[in-house]
Structure 1
Amino acid sequence: MSNDRISSQDAADEAQIASKGLNAPRVTPADIEAAIVSESYFTAADGVRAASESKPGASLLPEYVTFNKSPLSCVTICVLVLRNGTKIVGVNTGPVSSDNFCADLGRQYARQHAVDQVWPLLGYALRDQLAAVRQLETRAYADGTTATGVPPLPVASPAKRDMKFGEALDHLISGGRIQRAGWNGKGMFLWLNLGSHDEHEQAAAIGGVPRALFMLGDDGTVTRMPNINMRAADGSTVTGWLASQTDMLACDWRVA
């Protein structure tokens, strides 16, 4: 949805956070609004009325539904649909006195109740993504390098053993480096170069590839897909390595 929905208080809070130099990845009001693709509103009375009309031969609606400012007509419901299809329901039960009911305020408060539920969802998604990147960053090898080039935490390098291509590919995706025993060149291995995406992207997969294999970029970042690279025998990097039929059928894959 439009950033016009961001309140002046939210904008002031964001300015204060920025002034303190707190610029680590986080969920912002703009992220919340960007995640919302549609919103619908109705009252409880609307729901009862529609349910009754859908039943052939239904009896007349009770008076507590039909009269002006009835209890059910003061209950406002907001349904938000997020970009990944998640549906969030917010409810405002209305004022104590129906004479104080205002439809605009009912929709505003119901929407806020729904938005309050979006924050932890996006927070979990971001935390899950950061944890996946951190897992790749802290996977260390004998020469002290990592999949992302970030200085690693001291962990043991995995032992070498022969694997089929599928198992080797799983190791590659988890941040490991792999090589074939049958390769003639010395020091050759493969690694996965993470992709990147716009900070507002919320889909669980991008082009069918799990979002955990992407790094979070800034606003407006052009999506770059992950790619498998090879360190050649001469020390050069081959970007976008492609597996041959022999590579896929071989059983001599090892951890590099």
Structure 2
Amino acid sequence: MRDEAATEAEIVAKGLTAPRLTPDQIDGAIAAEAYHVFPGTTLTVCCLTLRNGFCVTGESAAASPENFDQAIGRRIARENARAKIWALEGYLLREFLSGRRVR
């Protein structure tokens, strides 16, 4: 999987200028983040609160408790939550581009 910076550079290099989302816009949509590891498990949940107050969650869990690392769990859970923002923001942009009024 290509990273976002490489994809963004390719889009810019090809002169693709239609309205679109960028990684910076996705990051800018995040107002706060919180994490929780359920006691006695390796399940880590990340809750990203967006600027409008909507919450998006992501999860991670180690299959083997011996491999659990809190920092890695938080990173993966955040990546999974952040990935969901792309779909939400993409829908919002498409609504705007279609001329439909966003409520």
Instruction: Note the C-alpha offset of 1:109.
Output: 0.5
Give RMSD over aligned pairs.
1.9
TM-score by length of 1: 0.38
Q: What does the per-residue CA deviation read over 1:99-130, in whole Å, with 9 as the maximum and x for residues that have no partner?
A: 11111110010001101111111001111111
| Percent of aligned pairs sharing the same letter | 40
Gaps of 5+ in 1: 1-7, 46-64, 66-71, 136-173, 175-203, 205-209, 211-256
The answer to whether structure 1 residue 97 and structure 2 residue 64 are counterparts is yes
Q: Of 3, 6, 9, which aligns to 1:15?
A: 9
* TM superposition outliers: structure 1 runs of 4+ over 6 Å: none
Find out whether 1:43 has 2:43 as its counterpart.
Answer: no
Bigger RCO (CA 8 Å, 6+ sep): 2
Deviation track 1:168-217 (CA, whole Å, cap 9, x = no partner) reads: xxxxxx9xxxxxxxxxxxxxxxxxxxxxxxxxxxxx6xxxxx7xxxxxxx
TM-score after normalising by structure 2: 0.90
1:9 Cα offset (Å) = 2.4
Q: Structure 1 or 2: larger helix share?
A: 2
Within-5 A mapping of 1:1-256: 9-45=3-39, 65=40, 72=41, 74-93=42-61, 95-132=62-99
Q: Which amino acid is the alignment partner of residue 79 of structure 1?
A: C
Q: Which secondary structure state, in structure 1, belongs to the residue aligned with residue 89 of structure 2?
A: helix
Distance 1:82 1:42 in 2: 18
Equivalent pairs counted in the alignment come to: 102
Structure 2: which 5+ runs fail to align?
none
